[in-house]
């Protein structure tokens, strides 16, 4: 159970001014973890865990306002951290704050490190309900409208995964380049560390010997694979022989949070009874990518991470989704085969294997991180430099992904959370 500080005027230990009287452990630094969405929170854990074991640091959590905030309270409850209301967090000084989204960060009285919450920066900022002038649109996470307020750069540090993003940042927001630091990508490193254990992840997803696992991954929104319709998923389950293929669906957390866990499970219940395996949003998704023999995706980050695995990545969703043309995702989409509705899916999968050009996927994968295997080391060094503390001597390591969890459908007509 997490402990929540309920009112801005009531300061609980360890926030009280007389904290030394009440706190069991006196700490030297206070870190605030700003969680906008579940996926942002998941990415922030990769950084927060680098502070584990350091009794000099007290970590707090807060939920920042966001349109996709559904599920964040439960995420924080599961963590068991000390959760501070947003209206108190913005009135309190911390030594450092961490975020993986940009909304409302200017309200904080604390230097903020902002991490990306996906594979780099690939998407163009949406036009909005009534449209937005082209001059005001930019690459999400790199654009001036996200990073600069009243002429000042909001983040203390902008974490990037690849050196080439510095050039892209310079085009989008030149004044922010001095705040940028390239540290690599934690998901890239975790997938790389997991590749030798591929058989374990396949077993966790129910793939039998000789079966080919098709991972269907959808980002969120109307341009996504699922947003464009259920046809691809239904055809994969209906057309591919179950003794030869295992169909697994991996959905962006925003899909679950926007529609609700029960609804997503209910929508997919029929397909699940016909053989679809649905990855739970409460587990680690990276192992599902490692397990795949084919990846059917869209313009989401998982498709891009799939380029690391050496298996064919096939595209669905909107072909003209708003992706930065200079991004690695745009390069992947330029050559990855698209699934066609009027052709045999089995034949298209077979053709994608025969036409696979490994060097093209390797080139795209190399654009995800210019610091392979270095995120934990470089991110920890950044944290301790900003906290003005000497870092622990033990070298941080990257662990393989945990085994993926799947959604259980125990009885006909029922859906059960994992």
What's the mean per-residue pLDDT of the chain?
A: 89
| pTM summary value | 0.90
Statement: residue 229 has pLDDT above 90: no
The domains found in the chain, sorted by start residue, are 26-187+371-387 (3.40.50.2000), 196-369 (3.40.50.2000)
- pLDDT tens for 42-51 read 999 999 999 9
- pLDDT tens for 156-196 read 999 999 999 999 999 889 999 999 999 999 999 999 999 99
- pLDDT tens for 286-334 read 999 999 999 999 999 999 999 999 999 999 988 888 888 889 999 999 9
In this prediction, residues 335-339 reach a mean pLDDT of 95
- pLDDT tens for 368-387 read 999 999 999 999 999 999 99
pLDDT category of residue 8 using cuts at 50, 70 and 90: very low
CB 324 within 8 A of CB 122: yes
């Amino acid at each position: 159970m997490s402990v929540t500080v309920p009112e801005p005027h009531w300061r609980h230990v360890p926030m009280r001014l007389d904290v030394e009287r009440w706190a069991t452990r006196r700490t030297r630094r206070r870190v605030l973890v700003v969680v906008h969405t579940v996926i942002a929170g998941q990415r922030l854990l990769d950084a927060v865990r680098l502070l584990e074991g350091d009794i000099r640091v007290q970590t707090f959590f807060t939920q920042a306002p966001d349109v996709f905030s559904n599920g964040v309270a439960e995420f924080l409850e599961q963590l068991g951290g000390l959760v501070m209301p947003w209206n108190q967090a913005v009135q309190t000084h911390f030594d450092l704050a961490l975020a993986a989204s940009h909304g409302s960060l200017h309200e904080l009285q604390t230097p903020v490190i902002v991490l990306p919450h996906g594979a780099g920066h690939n998407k163009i900022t949406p036009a909005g309900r009534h449209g937005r002038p082209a001059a005001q649109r930019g690459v999400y996470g790199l654009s001036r409208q996200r990073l600069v307020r009243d002429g000042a750069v909001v983040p203390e540090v902008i974490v990037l995964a690849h050196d080439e993003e510095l050039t892209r940042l310079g085009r989008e927001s030149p004044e922010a380049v001095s705040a940028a630091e390239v540290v690599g990508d934690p998901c890239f490193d975790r997938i790389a560390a997991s590749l030798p254990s591929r058989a374990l992840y396949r077993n966790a997803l129910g793939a039998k010997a000789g079966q080919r696992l098709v991972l269907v991954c959808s980002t969120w929104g109307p341009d996504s694979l699922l947003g464009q319709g259920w046809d691809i998923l239904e055809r994969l389950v209906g057309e591919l022989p179950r003794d030869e293929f295992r169909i697994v669906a991996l959905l962006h957390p925003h899909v679950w949070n926007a529609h609700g866990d029960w609804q997503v499970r209910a929508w997919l219940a029929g397909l699940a009874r016909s053989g679809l395996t649905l990855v739970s949003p409460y587990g680690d998704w990276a192992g599902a990518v490692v397990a795949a023999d084919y990846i059917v995706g869209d313009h989401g980050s998982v498709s891009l991470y799939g380029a690391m695995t050496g298996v064919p990545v096939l595209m669905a969703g909107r072909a003209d989704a708003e992706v930065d043309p200079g991004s690695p995702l745009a390069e992947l989409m330029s050559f990855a085969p698209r699934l066609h509705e009027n052709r045999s899916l089995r034949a298209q999968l077979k053709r994608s294997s025969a036409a696979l050009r490994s060097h093209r996927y390797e080139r795209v994968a190399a654009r995800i991180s210019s610091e392979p295997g270095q995120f934990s080391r470089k991110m920890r060094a950044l944290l301790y430099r900003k906290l003005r503390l000497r870092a622990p001597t033990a070298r941080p390591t990257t662990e393989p992904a945990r085994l993926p969890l799947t959604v259980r459908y125990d009885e006909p007509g029922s859906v059960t959370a994992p």
